Amino acid sequence: MYSGIGAFVSPVHEPGQDPHLTIRRDLETIELLDELNYDEAWVGEHHSMGWGTIGAPETVIAAASQRTRQIKLANGVAPLPWHHPFHVATRAVHLDHLTRGRYILGVGPGVPTDARMLGVELSEQRSRAAEALPTVIELVNGEERVTRKADWFSVRDAKLQLPRYSRQGLEIAMASGGSSPASPLLVGQHGISMVSFGLTQPGSTSAIALDRQWQYVEEAAEEHGRVVDRRNWRIALPVHVADTRKQALDDVREGFDRWLHGYWEKAIGRDVSTPGIPKSRELEARIEAGGALVGSVDDVVAGMRRLQEQSGGFGTFLNYVLDWAPWARTRYSLDLLAREVAPRVNGAADRPQESIDWNVENRSVLSRPTS
């Protein structure tokens, strides 16, 4: 079922770098993805912890829209609990115009560290997202005026005065992380798309049951009379590809160590240790647990096929781009993923190979002289 390939540019950059240059690097990455024929690029929103440095993804998407030709651009994601639904909707429609229909509105409950700073109780994140979502959907894709009042926002006879560029409507996708059914249930209830994060957070003892996530979607869709399609499901996971498995591991080992212990352990304060796993094998343990795909082309192809089997099938794979490797090696990995991995998984390389196989099998016939 896999058909698309994209990238989730969170972004995550190690502290100590010039923030201006990291923003430029993110734009350069999206331009490269467009040249390599990636289908989508998602831009994250973060306001705390120092590693995720883009706080206004809509501005980055707007800039990227003028530098790219075919790639779809998406919020990854707009945290509904701390944005007024009307503002989310009006920015989305403007981006629909700037991208000429290449925009996807990704939404979600946001991250806890941002919520605390913005005065949102952690217990309110999911409920606020659920309250705001139908208002956003109607304002973006509906035709009726909306009047709705919640504890933290209200709209009265609200309707966007700017029409959509995409007459069929904008695609809206809800983010789902961890094993909670909350986001998948909202996806099914409203019949929208979903993006799931396949990387289990360091220190977590529970694996993400991706197949169960989609079961929640289907159950809610049936209950509310909606139609959902696995082709509108995206799964994000860190990937690094090199010519050999050893080269790939060598490329990312130091960066992975700094990400694990500098970001998750030091900045966030999470216990990242795994019983029985020495520090020297933390990277290998994460790969073996399915928390990243790192290796040769053959290794990553096999890993993506396993992910398809484990999930039951999904539409687009998103490479969760992390600052694990030097930029030259990251560029090469992005190139290999698009040029050699994706065609073997999505079937784009089948016809050329079929042509070769047919000619080999029929060589004796083809070599006969024609009358």
Q: State how far Cα 97 lies from the chain centre.
A: 22
Number of structural domains found in the chain = 1
- The pLDDT of residue 122 is 93
- pLDDT, tens digit (0-9, with 9 covering 90-100), for 299-330: 999 999 999 999 999 999 999 999 999 999 99
Pick 200 or 330 by higher pLDDT.
Answer: 330
Rounded distance between C-alpha atoms, residue 213 and residue 210, angstroms: 5
Q: At what angle do helices 327-336 and 19-35 cross, to 10 degrees?
A: 20
Query: Average model confidence (pLDDT) for the chain?
Result: 94
Q: Does pLDDT of 284 surpass 80?
A: yes
Burial class (CB in 10 A: 0-12, 13-18, 19+), 278: exposed
Backbone angles phi, psi at 120, to 5 degrees: -100, 125
- pTM over 0.85, yes/no: yes
- The pLDDT of residue 276 is 84
pLDDT level of residue 207 (50, 70, 90 thresholds)? low
User: Which residue range is the domain that position 111 belongs to?
Assistant: 4-366
Backbone angles phi, psi at 212, to 5 degrees: -70, -35
pLDDT level of residue 206 (50, 70, 90 thresholds)? low
- pLDDT, tens digit (0-9, with 9 covering 90-100), for 120-142: 999 999 999 999 999 999 999 99
Residue 76's closest CA among 105, 99, 101, 47?
105
User: What is the pLDDT averaged over residues 194-223?
Assistant: 86
**CATH code of the domain containing 328:** 3.20.20.30
- Three-state helix/strand/coil letters over 127-188: HHHHHHHHHHHHHHHCCCCEEEECCCCEEEEECCCCCCCCCCCCEEEEEEECCCCHHHHHHH
Position 131 in a domain? yes
Pick 172 or 323 by higher pLDDT.
Answer: 172
Q: Does pLDDT of 153 surpass 90?
A: yes
Q: At what angle do helices 182-190 and 125-141 cross, to 10 degrees?
A: 20
Gyration radius of the chain over CA positions: 22
- The pLDDT of residue 203 is 64
Position 331 in a domain? yes
- The pLDDT of residue 152 is 97
Position 371 in a domain? no
User: What is the pLDDT averaged over residues 190-201?
Assistant: 90
Neighbours of 72 (CB within 10 A): 20
- The pLDDT of residue 3 is 79
- pLDDT, tens digit (0-9, with 9 covering 90-100), for 8-46: 999 999 999 999 999 999 999 999 999 999 999 999 999
User: What is the pLDDT averaged over residues 183-197?
Assistant: 97
Q: Does pLDDT of 205 surpass 60?
A: no
Position 195 in a domain? yes
User: What is the pLDDT averaged over residues 172-185?
Assistant: 92
Rounded distance between C-alpha atoms, residue 105 and residue 103, angstroms: 7
User: What is the pLDDT averaged over residues 346-359?
Assistant: 92
